[in-house]
């Protein structure tokens, strides 16, 4: 029969020699190999204690951003919701009242801002669509839960900590993300 490739290897069918029949040399060789592996460096990373750094383009759970004075950047324009291919984002807009200038950056803000993390595909299009650098994808993963309802993240869950009242948590949440050029 014509061989289809040159890669075929013939199977050795010859009976074992006496030396092979003894088994012991082969077993000793095998045991030497396994013994060597005892001292090998283990490739496992002890996960909760040690984590590997994410790549810079990693897209995790969304964060609603604040500016350096702690004001919410979101103006509830709805571009993110339009851009979202999974239709995971809903929001309600409201007008800023006098005296709320320290809370919201512009005259309009989002009273309600929800992302359904079960629908979200973490594509990052909301971040790309946002003209105010108000929403971006962080390096955190969505933790598991027993209850579906808990996966609809409210504005309170999405907002980054206030840099004025809690600068440490803000810095931690912000991470090494560079400012988006608007």
Partner 1 sequence: MHVFLSLDWFLLIEKAILISIIIGISLIVAMYETWAERKVAAVIQDRRGPNRAGPGGIFQPLADGLKLFMKEEIVPNLSNKFLFILGPGIAMLTAMMTSAVVPWAGNIHAFGRDIPLQVADVNIGILYIFGVVSMGVYGVMIGGWASNNKFSLLAAIRGASQIISYELAMGLTLIAVLMLTGSLSLRTIVEQQLDHKYYVFYQPVGFIIFLVCAFAECNRTPFDLSEAESELNMGYHQEYSSMKLGFYLFAEYVNMFISSAVMATVFWGGYDIPFLNDAKFGQEHGQNLLAGLELLCLFLKIAFFIFFFIWVRWTIPRFRYDQLMNLGWKALIPLAILNMLVTGFVILFH
Q: Which is nearer to partner 1, 7 or 52 (CB)?
A: 52
CB of 140 to partner 1, least distance (A): 24
Residues that bind partner 1 (CB under 8 A): 21, 23-24, 27, 30-31, 33-35, 37-38, 40, 42-44, 46
CB of 18 to partner 1, least distance (A): 11
Q: Which is nearer to partner 1, 43 or 99 (CB)?
A: 43
Q: Which is nearer to partner 1, 51 or 55 (CB)?
A: 51
CB of 73 to partner 1, least distance (A): 42
Cβ–Cβ under 8 Å, residues 117 and 151: yes
């Amino acid at each position: 029969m014509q061989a289809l490739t040159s890669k075929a290897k013939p199977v050795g069918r010859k009976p074992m020699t006496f030396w092979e029949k003894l088994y012991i040399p082969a077993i000793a060789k095998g045991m030497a190999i396994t013994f060597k592996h005892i001292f090998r460096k283990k490739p496992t990373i002890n996960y909760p204690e040690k984590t590997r750094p994410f790549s810079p383009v990693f897209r995790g759970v969304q964060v609603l951003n604040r500016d350096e004075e702690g004001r919410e950047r979101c103006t509830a324009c709805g571009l993110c919701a339009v851009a979202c291919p999974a239709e995971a984002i809903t929001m309600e807009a409201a007008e800023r009242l006098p005296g709320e200038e320290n809370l919201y950056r512009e005259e309009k803000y989002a009273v309600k801002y929800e992302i359904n993390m079960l629908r979200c595909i973490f594509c990052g299009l909301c971040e790309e669509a946002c003209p105010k650098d108000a929403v971006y994808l962080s390096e955190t993963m969505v933790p598991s839960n027993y209850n579906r309802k808990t996966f609809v993240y409210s504005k309170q869950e999405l907002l980054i900590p206030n840099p004025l009242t809690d600068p440490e948590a803000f810095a931690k949440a912000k991470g090494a993300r560079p400012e988006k050029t608007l």
